[in-house]
Amino acid sequence: MRRREDLPEDDLLRLAAKGDEEAFVCLYRRHQGAIYRYALRMTGSAGLAEEITQDVFLVLAQQPKRYDINRGELGAFLFGVARNLVRKHWDRARPEISLDSEQRDDPALPAAQLLDPQAADPGVLFARDQAVAQVRAAVMSLPGDYREVIVLCELEEKSYEEAAKLLDCPVGTVRSRVHRARALLMAKLEVLRGRPRRAMAQ
Amino acid sequence: MRCEAFADVVHDLGRFAALDRKTREEALAHAQSCSRCAALKDAVESLEASLVALGFQDERAEAPQRVEAALRAAFRANRPRMLARSRRVVWTWGLATAAALGIGVLAWQEWKPTQKAPAGQASPPEEAYVQPAPVANTAAQQPSAQATANSASNSFLDASGFLPLPYETAPAADEQADVVRVRMARGSLAAFGLPVDGERADELIDVDFLVGEDGTPQAVRLSD
């Protein structure tokens, strides 16, 4: 007999719909990371991300019929639920992140240092954390549609096609949103680093 | 390539799937010859590095264990409802099947030439009771009154006044069968495909069932 972990998603869904708790947990473990990270990156709050993740899987636990296997993959369905919950959260309270409140020291690092996980110099580590915090703040300050494509295409490293499928919009729309979002991010980071440069924000 | 075209593709230079080779080469060549576009390319690469670093930081972020525990609890709490739902589905299908069967039986009765049931009601017993009466169900012992009967079993059933239940197969020639007498409301005969006079539906009557070795009623007749 195959272990639950080895079963395809369809079988796990059938078992879960019949009340098999381990099948449900298998599905949860397969998808929770992506859903949690999406919610975390979109809301900027671990607590909210936790709440949204729980609500997404509650839908699967309590209303399994809402997912129609013929209409797409389970991951896409769960992402859609998470997306709706994130948008509801935005409607309730739009978090405004003040760029002025961020540190204005210029910790801009060369790209190589930003990406070098072995960098042991405390000064470099501190500067790197500061730089990442600035990027995070800049991402969080983007309008929702732009933030979404940055989260999907840059942080989750999805292709334009994959993102378009998840967002249910044309690939061209995703591409132009990514370009616009990147331009905005560059402009915001220049502001954060105290070096406005008009050319970057075009 | 011109600067406007470069600005249009600079964000895709790091995405190999998003740009064809020729356009990429033209863009890179342009950046080497245009300092403004080279600066833009550097800025974009710096942003990409920052985003990758941000992605690294959250790469392994997962929901805390308490979320799984809460979901397990919610799933368990919901399980009785799910089981009740699946039972409802079974019942619904069961009833639908029974209804379809009943309609089929009635239709069959309408179509089939009706057989007169004995009308007499000779001092029926008070309670339902069983009269095991092993019947050697062979054609030789009970010659059929209807020469056209298809099988020896059916011949026996017809000769003894039994009406085969439409959804049951007739007992095999060498099968033992018992006659079981039951007192029941006349209206209940409808469930066995027999015609019922609506005005006398509540009347209690004695009915003989021919029960096969597996306990399944196979034929019915009104008791004299």
The model's pTM: 0.58
CB B167 within 8 A of CB B144: no
3-state secondary structure labels for all residues of A124-185:
HHHHHHHHHHHHHHHHHCCCHHHHHHHHHHHHCCCCHHHHHHHHCCCHHHHHHHHHHHHHHH
Least confident residue range of A100-109, B21-30, B169-178, B180-189: A100-109
Residue B97 has pLDDT above 90, yes or no: no
Nearest CA to A43 among A3, A108, A93?
A: A93
Is B47–A185 a contact, with Cβ atoms under 8 angstroms apart?
yes
pLDDT of residue A94: 60
CB A200 within 8 A of CB A108: no
**Is the minimum CB–CB distance between A117 and chain B shorter than 8 Å?**
yes
Residue B194 has pLDDT above 60, yes or no: yes
Tens-of-pLDDT digits for all 202 residues of chain A?
Answer: 568 778 888 888 888 888 888 999 999 999 999 999 999 989 888 999 999 999 999 988 888 778 887 778 888 899 999 999 998 888 776 654 444 444 334 444 455 555 555 555 666 666 667 788 888 889 998 998 999 999 999 998 899 999 998 898 999 999 999 999 999 999 888 876 665 555 444 4
pLDDT of residue B4: 87
Chosen CATH of A4-92 out of 3.90.930.12, 1.10.1740.10, 3.20.20.30, 1.10.3430.10 = 1.10.1740.10
The distance in angstroms from the start CA to the end CA of chain B is 106
**How many contacts does A have with B, using Cβ atoms within 8 A?**
126
| Dist CA A65 CA B78 (whole Å) | 14
Joined together, the tokens standing for residue B211 give: 């029960």
Is A178–B64 a contact, with Cβ atoms under 8 angstroms apart?
no
Q: How many CB atoms lie under 10 A from the CB of residue B108?
A: 12
- Phi first, then psi, for residue B212 (nearest 5°) are -75, 175
**Is the minimum CB–CB distance between A54 and chain B shorter than 8 Å?**
yes
Where on the phi/psi map is residue A55: left (φ > 0), alpha (ψ -120 to 50), or beta?
alpha
Is A135–B54 a contact, with Cβ atoms under 8 angstroms apart?
yes
| Dist CA B150 CA B10 (whole Å) | 88
The confidence band for B150, taking pLDDT boundaries of 50, 70 and 90, is very low
**Is the minimum CB–CB distance between A175 and chain B shorter than 8 Å?**
yes
CB B30 within 8 A of CB B1: yes
Q: How many degrees, rounded to 5, is the angle at CA A100 between CA A87 and CA A174?
A: 35
**Is the minimum CB–CB distance between A21 and chain B shorter than 8 Å?**
yes
Q: Could you say which of B43, B68, B75 has the minimum Cβ distance to residue A200?
A: B43
In the DSSP assignment, the letter for residue A103 is: -
pLDDT of residue A133: 86
Is B74–A32 a contact, with Cβ atoms under 8 angstroms apart?
no
Q: What is chain B's percent helix, strand, coil content, to nearest 5? A: 50, 10, 40
Q: What does each C-alpha distance from A167 to A36, A54, A145, A161, A162 come to in angstroms?
A: 17, 21, 10, 10, 9
Least confident residue range of A48-52, A188-192, B84-88, B98-102: B84-88
| Dist CA B159 CA B152 (whole Å) | 11
Task: Find chain B residues with C-beta within 8 A of A159's C-beta.
Answer: 15, 17-18
| Dist CA B25 CA B23 (whole Å) | 5
Is B78–A62 a contact, with Cβ atoms under 8 angstroms apart?
yes
Higher pLDDT, B143 or B54: B54
Q: What does each C-alpha distance from A25 to A11, A28, B60 come to in angstroms?
A: 13, 5, 19
Residue B149 has pLDDT above 80, yes or no: no
Is B43–A135 a contact, with Cβ atoms under 8 angstroms apart?
no
pLDDT of residue A6: 80
CB A158 within 8 A of CB A166: yes
Q: How many degrees, rounded to 5, is the angle at CA B3 between CA A201 and CA B9?
A: 70
Q: What ipTM was reported for this prediction?
A: 0.74
Instruction: Tell me which amino acid residue B191 is.
Output: A
Joined together, the tokens standing for residue A127 give: 């500067």
Chosen CATH of A99-201 out of 3.40.50.300, 3.60.21.10, 1.10.12.10, 1.10.10.10 = 1.10.10.10
Q: How many CB atoms lie under 10 A from the CB of residue B160?
A: 16
Domain boundaries, chain A: 4-92, 99-201
Joined together, the tokens standing for residue B99 give: 């209804």
> A112: which residues sit within 8 A by CB, 6+ positions away?
B49
Percent of all residues in chain B with a pLDDT value above 90, rounded to a whole number: 0
Residue of A nearest to B87 (CA): A18
Residue B94 has pLDDT above 50, yes or no: yes
Task: Find chain A residues with C-beta within 8 A of B40's C-beta.
Answer: 199-200
Residue B152 has pLDDT above 70, yes or no: no
Residues of B with CB under 8 A from a CB of A: 7-8, 11-12, 15, 17-18, 36, 39-40, 43-58, 60-64, 67-68, 70-72, 74-76, 78-79, 82-83, 86
Is B51–A49 a contact, with Cβ atoms under 8 angstroms apart?
no
Mean pLDDT calculated for residue range B70-78: 85
- Closest approach of A161 to chain B, Cα-based (Å): 10
Is A19–B79 a contact, with Cβ atoms under 8 angstroms apart?
yes
pLDDT of residue A181: 93
**Is the minimum CB–CB distance between A45 and chain B shorter than 8 Å?**
no
Query: Residue B190, CB half-sphere, CA atoms under 13 Å: how many?
Result: 13
Mean pLDDT calculated for residue range B177-189: 79
